[in-house]
Amino acid sequence: MFHAKIKSETLKGIVEVVSTLVDEAKFNIDANGFNLKAVDPAHVAMIEMEVEKNAFEEYAADETELGIDLDKIKEVLRLARSGDIIEMEQDEEKNRLIIRVGNITRRMNLVDITGMSDPRVPNLTFPAKVEVSSDELQKGIRAAEVISDHIALNAGPDGFEMYTEGDTDSVSLRLPKDLLISLDCIEDVRSLFPLDYFSNMVRSIPAGSGVSINLGTDYPVKLEFEIADQRGNVDYLLAPRIESD
């Protein structure tokens, strides 16, 4: 059983994050909220999301799993104006989700979740952690994407750098320690990542919020950030691109 009401902005934020990786997702729901784990089709990135029930305006649920086509939720969100409340109700008999916005009722088939098992989250230890505003990351990405399709994330005791090199040009966004929210790094680390994955994820982070970047050398990156007005959090893991010499 699942029956809840949520602000359209909050639902939009959740869907934007998940849909950077997958078109369909299995939401694991219980009485306290929901969680979700998803891996992109190329197995390059993974997302782990937890949202508490108090991110919702109203919430009533038993343990259940809902397979949801995220594009359909986006269609409904386009009908909502800022401030609108979205009502969602599971129709267990017909295996449907009923969504209401104002006078509009949308009934959608749920996605078959047979075989949509939750991915295993790898055990990782990161030597460096940088906390930075998502706006700075956005700036670095915009500068990088005209140069190349990958981006290096470098950290050291003095600060954090996003660096990209192309055939003729290079671009760097350097954030010294005092422009970071926090920095926990005792030796230099550096890893290279596919720019499109990194960019899509960073763009889904709420504007103006802080992001923790966990880094190593030739090692995955883990981004941690909050959604749903601090009532939800996301871990995003991205595999590195190993540089050949």
Residues that bind a copy of itself (CB under 8 A): 72, 75, 78-79, 102-109, 136, 139-140, 142-143, 146, 168-175, 179
Closer to a copy of itself by CB, 105 or 209: give it: 105
Report in angstroms the alpha-carbon separations of 219 from 41, 151, 191: 20, 14, 6
Q: CB of residue 227 vs a copy of itself: minimum separation in angstroms? A: 25
Question: Nearer Cβ to a copy of itself, position 47 or 147?
Answer: 147
Question: Least distance (Å) from a copy of itself to the CB of residue 161?
Answer: 9
Could you give the 3-state DSSP secondary structure of residue 16?
helix
175 or 185: CB nearest a copy of itself:
175
Phi, psi of 9, rounded to the nearest 5 degrees = -65, -40
Which tokens sit at 191? 């890893």
Sign of the CA dihedral 56, 80, 66, 226? negative
CB neighbourhood size of 164 (10 A): 23
**Shortest distance, position 53 Cβ to a copy of itself, whole Å:** 27
Nearer to a copy of itself, 124 or 146 (CB): 146
Cα(15)–Cα(50) distance, rounded to whole angstroms? 13
CB of residue 165 vs a copy of itself: minimum separation in angstroms?
Answer: 9
Q: Which is nearer to a copy of itself, 1 or 179 (by Cβ)?
A: 179
**Mind giving me the DSSP string for 178-233?**
GGSSEEE-SS-EEEEEEHHHHHHHHHHSPTT-EEEEEE-SSS-EEEEEEETTTTEE
Report the relative pairing of strands 232-238 and 24-30 from DSSP bridges: unpaired
Q: How far is the CB of 100 from a copy of itself (least distance, A)?
A: 10
